[in-house]
Structure 1
Amino acid sequence: MPRQIPYIIANEGCERFSFYGMRNILTPFLLSTLLLFVPMADRASEAKHVFHTFVIGVYFFPLLGGWLADRWFGKYNTVFWFSLIYVAGHACLAIFEDNLKGFYFGLFLIAFGSGGIKPLVAAFVGDQFDQTNKNRAKLVYDAFYWIINFGSFFASLLMPVFLRDYGPAVAFGIPGILMAVATLVFWLGKRKYIHVPPAAPNPNSFSSVARTALMSKQPGRPGDLLGRPGLMMAGVGALGAVASLCMTPQWGFVIAACLALVLVLAFGGIGVSMQLDRARGLHSEEAVEGVRAVLRILIVFAMVTPFHSLFDQKASTWIVQANAMNSPLLNIFGWEFTLLPAQMQAVNPILVMLLIPFNNLALYPLMRFIGITPTPLRRMGTGIAMAGISWIVIGMIQLQMDAGDKVSILWQLLPYALLTLGEVLVSATGLEFAYSQAPAPMKGIILSFWYLAITVGNLWVLIVNAGVKNDAVSAYIATSGMGVIAFQMFFFAAFALLVAAVFALYAIRYKMVDNYRSEGPASFCYPEAEKDKP
């Protein structure tokens, strides 16, 4: 075992505790303290907007961190300097607990710092192994998985108590101290690490091949724009992006900018696929087919975005619901306590640690025994559907509450279990699928697009959240006989179930390939979803 590994594992444990420690109390703090100036009727909506804007930033900035590490500074330097920004963000949360602009600036710094290091630490672990000890890598990634859930579990249990008993300065300060410790531990191992230098520019990269495909002219029609339909399609996406940005005053910058990005990627991807054969001869055959494979995978990622919409709302919408529920006095081994709304999130890491071995040892073998092969696409499609079902359950609970019934917070255990099962099926499978389908030169770009799928999932939440403020939409909701929160819950459930059905149809037509490496240097990845699950 490389002697530098304990430094990275300790760094990961402290960093994940710090992240989930602040993240899991963010919505309760916004509702109870920072957003008191917002009218009560609008406070929950504003808190959700702030939370999901923050999550969008966390999963957008990996693009920047990965690019800086790969092209300029290397993984170690990028992780170290982004970690210092991360620490500064935590400090802002603790210092500016009663200052809106200062607190939001702290959230920006945390999103920037956390997102910047997110794609790098696990890849940095892979750099520490070679052919002589690569068999030890699985043990290390198992330790990563364990330490992430360990940190998340205790952060979910403890930080809401600190927020209640000691106030936001202490509750946000403790994660900041843990992040400072994480950075110090990472720095202490500097002279022991294997440092892989940044790679030289790749002429056969995804962006290079895509640019060639779009810009190449059709033989015999060198000056004819109509001979480049793919470029025209990309232009439509660019015009749509400009139109989206022009709507910034109505939608807000985050929605407008993210929607612009989605339009560019969607229409640009269609355009590249239409003209991809024009890149042949100018790029290697492997590079061209790699881009084609990535574009096929992006369709799968696009259909996974509704899952992220549902999953990330357990730390916003579900906490809002839990705030209005009854919390009974529990007695466990003589210890009496009352569950806080944010503490319900501790159910997730415990269930994940139970469900992954259960699936591998019981569920999947049973499916094979009865003649159903649990392929990656079947698992992912089922996971999206399970998330939709969990939201039907949470919506039914909300209807009971809206009818005036007193509902115990323990009723949320069922939808948490269903949503976590969906998470295991989607997040633990998504990049396994993507990495098996993408040729080796394109595997790096896959991780970036996976993070963008999480960003887009949270974008849908912001759009729906803004949509229900429209007078016409509000009037329609009123005719349904449901409250706004319940209506949104059933809307997201229907959204996920509809996409799960489309996903199943696409999975039938999708032709699987096998691009696992057969030989060569060891290469490892550690996919992260919201919960950073393997």
Structure 2
Amino acid sequence: MSATEIKRSSSSMEIQESGQEKAMEVRGGEVEDPHKPKKSLISDSYNLGIGDEDPTQEELHGPTALRRVSAPIPWAVYTVAYVELCERFSYYGTQVLYSNFVNHALPQVDGPPGSNHNTGAGGGSAQGVSGALGKGVEAANGINTFNTFWCYLVPLASAWLADEHWGRYKTICWSIAIAILGHIVLVISAIPPVITNTSACYGVFIIGVIIMGLGTGGFKPNISALVVEQIPDVNLKVRTLPSGERVIIDPTITQSRIYHYFYLFINIGALIGQIGMAYAEKYVGFWLAFFLPTIMFLTCPFVMWWGRHRYRQSPPQGSVTSKAVRAFWYALSKRWHWNPVKFWKRTHDGSLWDNVKPSNIPPSQRPHWMTFDDAWVDEVRRGFAACAVFCYLPLYWLAYGQLTNNLTAQASTMALGGVPNDVINNLDPFALIIFIPICDTFLYPALRKMGFRFTAIKKIFLGFIFACLAMVWSAVVQLYIYKKSPCGYHANNCYTADGAIRNAPLNVWIQTGAYVLIAFSEIFASITSLEYAYSKAPRGMRSLIQAIALFANAISAAIAEALNRLSSDPLLIWNYGVFAVLAGLGGVFFIWQFWGLDKEEDELNNLPEGHVLADEKIALEAAEILPVKG
């Protein structure tokens, strides 16, 4: 090796050290040096005798393996979860109204001017169902699908903004402001002077949906990362309990617990928002149903302001996303072959990412953007593997999406017994509120005690199966609706001469099975996808990997839009059947492809933290590729 190469190699090491110095954490509004000893994962007030030693292979695996436990959850997690509760109250409390608002026309009732008909409330009408625009089921499903697509497309941009420029906290605050503006526009669309003018109401409503979706999309990936950032990043550690039992503190179990209770808060907000707003819509009008979520959401800025110096925050990392993409293409370029079979084999031989590790490239041949260390490459490889896992999620979300679209319409064709049709889908969050604590407190600990590793891959697979079963249940219910409806296979357009809906003589609560099955699928697939995205992402790309996981919703919405013709009579049995098959096949192919990745879970979760220097100019000067100033 020449003297120049030795000097460049030394400079490269200095770059990595400099990168480590710049990889700071923000806590309590102050910048911390990561080389300083971090506070224990468990607060000193717990005084549980945490050990600093890493577990041995015997303690990790085999008959003498130690029991794995979660660390206590910091109080800051609950304040972030409250913000999410308010946001989900406002989002679901508003979204639940879209189907009736678009599908049904303003109810026609007898009475003096100012009666319910100019507010959209259907409680005192012959139809018994609220409405405003009268665009039909397909239009309602189309707008709901667009809203889902938009809300989960925006996170890609907001996550990039948070990871590289603003940081998560600032991005969340601006997103809240935008969402509040969207809420205000929706309220305007529902006030009597506007709602009675169909064309004006439609235009204002669409503008409100777009603005609110922009705020929601900016909020979602960043709040999901911020909540788990409230615990420090640590690997597996051994602790001795007061009872004398030695256990392993597993950060993935801690993250899983946080996301389970985070999701619990989500569904508390969704349940209260959806039930409350459905009744407000039915008996007062859409203006109140849009207004109350706005008031609830207005509490979020105060909580965020209170936590501005209390939350653990990771600062923006600069151009890490572009470096990750460049690293991926650089690795592929070294394995390129015109023969697709050979190209596949070369890229799946287990050594693809070794090509882009700086230690394997002479300093003189390194690209100028290669300002990271080998450990960061391993983290990026892990993040790309997580993104591959998320590629199957659109098939899951297709089934889940029926809750807010077709199952709401299905309920309106059955005997409601005075219950608003858009209240029934609250069986889903209600079931989640019951079963999330049961799974966290009893099911998962029992499985761990029996030595069964219920890992993320296994949970997501089970989520697909439950979603498939939910769609089978819905298809059977739809079949009976068509058999019992006075209008047969046209149950969604079945009215009496005076405009009242002629329902099938079936109790609406027979939908319960579908909602409970979907709830279990969410516990296993949806919650786990959030947990998996966070645990597998590099520090500087956590919002982005969360956004990619959420983007699966947008892809499913686009597919659902293409299949929207199935969302009307007489094709609804086919609609549920198709989604059942897609979810079932998705689960089978998912577990087949990622069974090997499941076996690497501990190894992937315990990778050393990598470092990247975002400022290329400093890196180039350190490597003497550019003249050093001064």
TM-score normalised by the chain length of structure 1: 0.73
Residues 487 and 88 of structure 1: is their aligned pair in 2 closer, same or farther, counting only changes over 3 Å? same
The answer to whether the aligner puts 1:73 opposite 2:180 as a matched pair is: no
Q: Equivalences for 1:352-367 in 2 at 5 Å? A: 352-360=432-440, 363=443
Residues 454 and 140 of structure 1: is their aligned pair in 2 closer, same or farther, counting only changes over 3 Å? closer
- Tell me the secondary structure at the aligned position of residue 407 of structure 1: strand
- Tell me the secondary structure at the aligned position of residue 94 of structure 1: helix
CA–CA separation in structure 2 for the residues paired with 1:511 and 1:194: 30
How many angstroms does 1:149 deviate by? 2.4
Match of 1:114 in 2: 216
- Tell me the secondary structure at the aligned position of residue 573 of structure 2: helix
Match of 2:527 in 1: 428
Match of 1:491 in 2: 578
Match of 2:589 in 1: 502
How many angstroms does 1:31 deviate by? 1.3
Match of 2:270 in 1: 152
Q: Equivalences for 1:171-186 in 2 at 5 Å? A: 171-186=289-304
Which residue identity lines up with residue 353 of structure 1 in the other structure?
I
CA contact (8 A) 2:148 2:554 kept: yes
CA contact (8 A) 2:162 2:543 kept: no
- Tell me the secondary structure at the aligned position of residue 61 of structure 1: helix
Query: Which deviates more, 314-323 or 442-451?
Result: 442-451
Query: Which deviates more, 30-39 or 181-190?
Result: 30-39
Query: Which residue of 286, 292, 301 maps to 1:168?
Result: 286
CA–CA separation in structure 1 for the residues paired with 2:451 and 2:299: 50
How well do the aligned residues superpose, as a CA RMSD in angstroms?
3.9
CA–CA separation in structure 1 for the residues paired with 2:209 and 2:482: 33
Which residue identity lines up with residue 77 of structure 1 in the other structure?
K
The answer to whether the aligner puts 1:344 opposite 2:437 as a matched pair is: no
Match of 2:155 in 1: 62
- Tell me the secondary structure at the aligned position of residue 96 of structure 1: helix
How many angstroms does 1:519 deviate by? 8.3
Match of 1:51 in 2: 144
CA–CA separation in structure 1 for the residues paired with 2:256 and 2:379: 27
CA–CA separation in structure 1 for the residues paired with 2:273 and 2:202: 24
Asked which structure has the greater RCO (Cα within 8 Å, sep 6+), the reply is: 2
The answer to whether the aligner puts 1:323 opposite 2:416 as a matched pair is: no
Q: Which runs of 5+ in 1 are unaligned?
A: 219-225, 234-266, 329-337, 475-481, 522-534
Number of aligned positions between the proteins = 451
Q: Equivalences for 1:90-109 in 2 at 5 Å? A: 90-97=183-190, 98=195, 99-109=201-211
Match of 1:23 in 2: 95
Residues 174 and 197 of structure 1: is their aligned pair in 2 closer, same or farther, counting only changes over 3 Å? same
- Tell me the secondary structure at the aligned position of residue 298 of structure 2: helix
Which residue identity lines up with residue 214 of structure 2 in the other structure?
F
Match of 1:401 in 2: 481
How many angstroms does 1:148 deviate by? 2.3
How many angstroms does 1:55 deviate by? 1.0
- Tell me the secondary structure at the aligned position of residue 316 of structure 2: coil
CA contact (8 A) 1:209 1:279 kept: yes
CA contact (8 A) 1:65 1:116 kept: yes
Cα deviations by residue, 1:174-226 (Å, 9 ceiling, x for unpaired): 11122223224433554655665422333884223124345x477xxxxxxx8
Which residue identity lines up with residue 409 of structure 2 in the other structure?
V
Match of 1:419 in 2: 518
CA–CA separation in structure 2 for the residues paired with 1:511 and 1:14: 35
CA–CA separation in structure 1 for the residues paired with 2:324 and 2:339: 20
The answer to whether the aligner puts 1:86 opposite 2:173 as a matched pair is: no
CA contact (8 A) 1:287 1:441 kept: no
Which residue identity lines up with residue 395 of structure 1 in the other structure?
A
How many angstroms does 1:103 deviate by? 0.8
Match of 1:208 in 2: 326
- Tell me the secondary structure at the aligned position of residue 483 of structure 1: coil
CA–CA separation in structure 1 for the residues paired with 2:536 and 2:312: 29
How many angstroms does 1:57 deviate by? 1.3
CA contact (8 A) 1:24 1:315 kept: yes
How many angstroms does 1:490 deviate by? 0.8
CA contact (8 A) 1:290 1:442 kept: no
Which residue identity lines up with residue 452 of structure 1 in the other structure?
F
Residues 379 and 193 of structure 1: is their aligned pair in 2 closer, same or farther, counting only changes over 3 Å? closer
Cα deviations by residue, 1:203-260 (Å, 9 ceiling, x for unpaired): 884223124345x477xxxxxxx86789xx9xxxxxxxxxxxxxxxxxxxxxxxxxxx
Which residue identity lines up with residue 11 of structure 1 in the other structure?
V
CA–CA separation in structure 1 for the residues paired with 2:533 and 2:314: 25
CA–CA separation in structure 2 for the residues paired with 1:497 and 1:326: 31
How many angstroms does 1:76 deviate by? 2.7
Residues 143 and 54 of structure 1: is their aligned pair in 2 closer, same or farther, counting only changes over 3 Å? same
How many angstroms does 1:66 deviate by? 1.8
How many angstroms does 1:399 deviate by? 0.8
CA contact (8 A) 2:149 2:554 kept: yes
CA contact (8 A) 1:204 1:287 kept: no
Which residue identity lines up with residue 276 of structure 2 in the other structure?
L
Q: Is the radius of gyration larger for structure 1 or structure 2?
A: 2
Residues 76 and 297 of structure 1: is their aligned pair in 2 closer, same or farther, counting only changes over 3 Å? closer
Residues 356 and 291 of structure 1: is their aligned pair in 2 closer, same or farther, counting only changes over 3 Å? same
Residues 228 and 440 of structure 1: is their aligned pair in 2 closer, same or farther, counting only changes over 3 Å? farther
Match of 1:453 in 2: 552
Cα deviations by residue, 1:277-330 (Å, 9 ceiling, x for unpaired): 6534345443444444334333321222211111122011100100111113xx
Which residue identity lines up with residue 389 of structure 1 in the other structure?
L
CA–CA separation in structure 2 for the residues paired with 1:36 and 1:75: 38
Cα deviations by residue, 1:326-360 (Å, 9 ceiling, x for unpaired): 113xxxxxxxxx32211112212221122233334
**Structure with more of its chain in helix, by fraction:** 1
CA contact (8 A) 2:90 2:293 kept: yes
CA contact (8 A) 1:205 1:442 kept: no
CA–CA separation in structure 1 for the residues paired with 2:97 and 2:460: 29
CA–CA separation in structure 2 for the residues paired with 1:385 and 1:5: 31
Question: Percent of aligned positions with the same letter in both sequences?
Answer: 24
CA contact (8 A) 2:408 2:421 kept: yes
How many angstroms does 1:441 deviate by? 6.3
- Tell me the secondary structure at the aligned position of residue 280 of structure 2: helix
CA–CA separation in structure 1 for the residues paired with 2:538 and 2:163: 19
Q: Which runs of 5+ in 2 are unaligned?
A: 1-42, 44-73, 107-130, 196-200, 235-250, 486-504, 611-630
CA–CA separation in structure 2 for the residues paired with 1:436 and 1:192: 23
Q: Equivalences for 1:258-269 in 2 at 5 Å? A: none
CA contact (8 A) 1:7 1:188 kept: no
Which residue identity lines up with residue 186 of structure 2 in the other structure?
L
Residues 187 and 443 of structure 1: is their aligned pair in 2 closer, same or farther, counting only changes over 3 Å? closer
Which residue identity lines up with residue 320 of structure 1 in the other structure?
A
The answer to whether the aligner puts 1:293 opposite 2:382 as a matched pair is: yes
CA–CA separation in structure 2 for the residues paired with 1:129 and 1:31: 45
How many angstroms does 1:393 deviate by? 0.9
Residues 417 and 520 of structure 1: is their aligned pair in 2 closer, same or farther, counting only changes over 3 Å? same
Match of 1:279 in 2: 356
- Tell me the secondary structure at the aligned position of residue 415 of structure 2: coil
Which residue identity lines up with residue 178 of structure 1 in the other structure?
M
TM-score normalised by the chain length of structure 2: 0.63
CA–CA separation in structure 2 for the residues paired with 1:274 and 1:464: 40
CA–CA separation in structure 1 for the residues paired with 2:84 and 2:582: 35
